[in-house]
Amino acid sequence: MERTFAIVKPDAVRRGLTGDILKRIEASGLKIVALRKIHLSRVDAEKFYDVHRARPFFSGLCDYMTSGPVVILVLQGEGAISKWRQLMGATDPKNADTGTIRKDFGIDVEKNVTHGSDAPETAAQEIAFFFPAREILA
């Protein structure tokens, strides 16, 4: 069984889409093994997105991710990383496949409603950043 990390981003939480997104996750066969609603601090957002620090969008990304509460999750299942990425769709909602979360709910490349780990190493780092092992209930 593989695990991945997911975020329901501030615009999705603000627009009341969390339940719709969680329903799609569960319907896909992925199991939610940890879930919490938090409001990221600027320090945490900068640490979490540190890999993008040199990019021109870094400051705006941190502003956006601290603009309201997010829902953070650990998902588990066979091929969880690729399954979640397929369910989300392309980063830019305009390029996402019909029926994906980002196509159906995303506004633009920034307000694309969800985040997902891109590799097993990234998933492990992102999960550990937010969740102590005792909070992951498989």
Could you report the per-residue pLDDT of 68-118, keeping only the tens digit for each? 999 999 999 999 999 999 999 999 999 999 999 999 999 999 899 999 999
Tell me, yes or no, if the pTM score tops 0.85: yes
pLDDT at 131: 97
Q: How many domains does the chain have?
A: 1
- Does the annotation mark 52 as catalytic? no
Nearest CA to 100 out of 89, 113, 92 is that of 89
Given a cut of 90, whether residue 138 has pLDDT beyond it is no
pLDDT at 23: 98
| HEC assignment per residue over the chain | CEEEEEEECHHHHHCCCHHHHHHHHHHCCCEEEEEEEECCCHHHHHHHCHHHCCCCCHHHHHHHHCCCCEEEEEEEECCHHHHHHHHHCCCCHHHCCCCCHHHHHCCCCCCCCEEECCCHHHHHHHHHHHCCHHHCCC
CATH of the domain at 93: 3.30.70.141
pLDDT at 83: 98
Residue-wise pLDDT tens digits, 32-64:
999 999 999 999 999 999 999 999 999 999 999
Domain holding 50, by residue range, is 2-135
- Of 21, 77, 115, 116, which is the active-site residue? 115
